[in-house]
Chains A and B, each alone.
Chain A
């Protein structure tokens, strides 16, 4: 039996506002528990919510970026359920009248084709606090749970897709494209490891060719692209095994443990709450007029797809390179600075994607905390371009710059070392003086009469091999500093 996978996503994304969606408390991550929760966040009696306009603006930006209509009159509702990290006993969210209507995001598949994933809608809501169970406590906690309300009231938009994805790869491609769009809009910090974007995946399977949807399960709170992929693959094979063994998929909520690579059921549909949604009487409907929308549209930054096309056209990048470099706004900006300052876009792309990325990964840093700034990297590339150093020497210089940057860190801005300084310190000048190179070449050719004779007698194929021998000797004699291009040129003349 051939099975088809059907996937829809719900994405909870924290908006990068300074304060919470309904109160003035800070949204900064990592503060001491409950230090960023005021009377409103604590749901003290008599307190009232006031909508953060920046959150509305960010939601509109998102809507425009995915080609969705903005609801001129959206409304907040109360979703009622009891939980200790939900202080009011209801979550203020949108249901019947979400702020962002139906839109879409185009993703590129591995075969180069493009696929459109439809977005059903996106709505604004508040995040809950965090429950810290026993494990999180040091020492003797006697089964107590702690509540941290710092996160309570952080603005979220929830993005709900149609069930348009057909594989884990498509879901991941969508997630990455979404991440690229929202980070380029700078409406979220996009830091998935800290919960800024959390994905719920709805997965079902059906016989290939069927147009009926199977029973779906929802795996909640996946916070990395890898977990999305693993959880979907695991769930698809679970469902196939289940059905092929004569069983049935039950509609349920599941949790995926990315460490142990296992998933378990959390609750079934029968156990689901009746949330008793109704319009929140404390908040007026959110009215957005066309003028506001057009103002926001005019100020939208360049979106990843447009940027990618521009990188291909202006910098001659390959489709793949352009894709990688536009996945994140900070990365794209970094690349573009290096390319412009150095005037060598292809070298810039290579250095950013290969050497820099490897070093950042190794040191667990993201591009905005790179120990080497874009201008510095451009400075290094300039020295390659003007033949001051070879590519090999450049790697050596790069490592020193990287170490220096890591050691001095962001605290000492001026301590970032320039490529020129490193080149000077290490005495790494590439020798491009024709006279000096001619002398070395002469010496080596004279010192190896046998090989010289062999070369002169040999055919094309053999000559190439012998040429390599001479170049190796010459580079060794010059301590690697001779300009390889010049060495080749002069050597060939000498051997004629």
Chain B
């Protein structure tokens, strides 16, 4: 049961081949037995999961089941869950139990999903390897010495190790797509504003976007159907209707115009990945697509631009963690200043502190114009690159990452780590939708093909990904040793 897609699970549940309770018990048992190896969950919630499974079974028997009734998934521990500890993988929130659900959690619950627990991640979603978690690193089921990517590394590892059918993730600079690529999964970052950010703990508010991580494009469409939509509680959410993303999956790709940015195939890209990506694109051509080279001239500015804007927003977003109202508080503060400084010194990890410092610096008097304002100008240029490109093409394709997964501890230089996100970051700066699908293997490690769409063209991306997955079986391969 544990290697089935959501689409297959829904069929099995509908045909009464198994109940959600059985399915949930099965997954819970696997987590119990296997997750010590991967560390993909921070919190497992068996009682709540079984309760949800039973009510999904009941709803199904009564004929009023939601679209995802009984499907066991996991939430990244950045989504607030009412009554369930939500840590953001930080010591700062190790004791934090929110009295509310994130909108994404509410919407998926209304669709009937069963939440098995909360997955590991980089602390406050700051990282590309899941090594910054207060709860320890996550292992990649494909290569147990290696990282699953980040920051949604726990969600990726949990799906790849078949410890849930799918999971939610968040993507600020590649945090859904990069771990999806490194763990052989489908991961979609929707258009900024497509999915509500309410209750999703903020890293960089103008870049953060929640999305599905799944075994297939079809599953991603099913999850996105439930997750997307306007939310009056999020002023930046888009007030436009949500199409049925499964309705267009089967459209043929004849005449589809794919752009290959020359900047995405240059220096720094692993030759093996380049080869695999070209093979995948050849597959799309066979399906009827035409390919042309395009240019996104400001690509090399994306990483530096991001590392001004994201830390700037983060420095303010993380100010609320001050030990006054909730979360970690240092022992015996001598005065207010001591309370603040020790709470934050002890409660945050190094990468989080690094980014708060960078963000504080770039917003400071005398530096604002040189850094923050300049980065905003660059951000507009990056967006214009994409807008211009989409005049000529329907979808932009390229590698998701420059390298396959690397060993835990292998990259210690922060800048080298930041450059692992070189192909994903610009998408967040522009607010565009993009997904990563498995497109081959390098040294037996999965690699991803990234497809970038125009604003609100999630349907097109999922359509292309689904057609690719109908013609290939990379997405159906299971990590060695996962049974």
Residues of A within 8 A of B (CB): 39, 42-51, 78, 80, 82, 84, 87-90, 147, 274, 276-278, 281-284
Contacts and interface: CB of A to CB of B under 8 A. Distances in A.
Query: Which of A43, A45, A147, A278 is most buried by chain B, counting CB atoms within 10 A of its CB?
Result: A45
B141 interface: no
B320 A43 contact: yes
B202 A90 contact: no
Given A45-B93, A50-B232, 7 more contacts: A43-B320, A48-B234, A80-B319, A87-B325, A276-B360, A277-B363, A283-B235
Interface stretch (B18-26, B97-105, B253-261): B97-105
Interface in B71-118: 79-80, 86, 88, 93, 96, 98-100, 102
Counting chain B CB atoms within 10 Å of each CB, the highest count among A39, A82, A276 belongs to A276
B308 to A, nearest CB: 11
B102 A46 contact: yes
A51 B320 contact: no
Interface in B286-328: 312-313, 315-316, 318-322, 324-326
Contact of A45 (B98, B235, B313, B336): B98
Contacts of B204: 281
B231 to A, nearest CB: 9
B161 to A, nearest CB: 27
Q: Identify which of B96, B98, B236, B325 gathers the most chain A CB atoms within 10 Å of its CB.
A: B325
B360 A43 contact: no
Interface in B241-279: none
Given A89-B316, A90-B319, A281 B80 contact: no
Contact of A43 (B234, B312, B325): B325
Nearest to A83: B336
Nearest to A278: B363
B372 A281 contact: no
B198 A46 contact: yes
23 contacts: A43-B320, A44-B98, A44-B325, A45-B201, A45-B202, A45-B321, A46-B79, A46-B199, A48-B234, A51-B235, A80-B316, A80-B363, A82-B319, A82-B322, A87-B325, A89-B322, A276-B315, A276-B365, A277-B363, A281-B205, A281-B206, A282-B202, A283-B236
A45 B88 contact: yes
B233 interface: yes
Contact of A47 (B199, B313, B318): B199
Of the candidates B88, B204, B235, B336, the one having the most CB atoms from chain A within 10 angstroms of its own CB is B235
B200 A46 contact: yes
Contacts, number: 102
B197 A88 contact: no
A274 B80 contact: no
Contacts of B313: 278, 281
B230 interface: no
Contacts of A281: 204-206, 236, 313
A352 to B, nearest CB: 47
B236 A284 contact: yes
B233 A50 contact: yes
B83 to A, nearest CB: 14
Contact of B86 (A45, A78, A88, A276): A45
Does more than half of chain B's interface fall in helix, strand or loop, or is it mixed?
Answer: loop
B261 to A, nearest CB: 27
Contacts of B322: 82, 84, 89
Contacts of A283: 235-236
A147 B324 contact: yes
B377 interface: no
Contacts of A84: 322, 324, 336
Given A39-B99, A78-B316, A48 B206 contact: no
Main secondary structure of the interface of A (DSSP, over half): loop
B319 A284 contact: no
A78 B322 CA distance: 17
A88 B360 CA distance: 15
Given A39-B100, A283-B235, A89 B198 contact: no
A145 to B, nearest CB: 8
Interface residues of B, number: 44
A44 B100 contact: yes
Contacts of B324: 84, 87, 147
Contacts of B198: 46-48
Given A45-B80, A45-B86, A46-B98, A274 B365 contact: yes
A283 B100 CA distance: 21
Contact of B96 (A45, A51, A147): A45
A284 B199 CA distance: 18
Nearest to B79: A46
B172 to A, nearest CB: 12
B406 interface: no
Contacts of B472: none
A44 B233 CA distance: 14
A80 B86 CA distance: 25
Contact of A276 (B205, B325, B340, B363): B363
Q: Which of A49, A89, A147, A283 has the most CB of B within 10 A?
A: A89
B201 A46 contact: yes
Contacts of B326: 42, 44
A262 B197 CA distance: 50
Q: Which of A39, A48, A89: most chain B Cβ within 10 A? A: A48
B180 to A, nearest CB: 23
B364 interface: yes
A282 B368 CA distance: 20
B98 A282 contact: no
A283 B96 CA distance: 26
Contact of B319 (A47, A49, A51, A89): A89
Given A45-B88, A48-B233, A89 B360 contact: no
B238 to A, nearest CB: 11
A119 to B, nearest CB: 26
Given A45-B98, A46-B201, A47-B198, A90 B316 contact: yes
A44 B201 CA distance: 9
Contacts of A39: 98-100
Interface string B198-230: 111110111000000000000000000000000
Nearest to A274: B365
A278 B236 CA distance: 17
A39 B318 CA distance: 16
A90 B359 CA distance: 14
B320 A45 contact: yes
B372 A46 contact: no
A88 B234 contact: no
A42 B204 CA distance: 20
B233 A88 contact: no
A277 B372 CA distance: 11
A291 B79 CA distance: 40
B41 to A, nearest CB: 20
A51 B201 CA distance: 20
A44 B327 CA distance: 10
Given A39-B100, A46-B80, A87-B325, A274 B364 contact: yes
A276 B364 contact: yes
Contacts of B340: 82
Contacts of B321: 45
B374 to A, nearest CB: 13
B304 to A, nearest CB: 18
B197 to A, nearest CB: 6
Contacts of A43: 320, 325
B235 A50 contact: yes
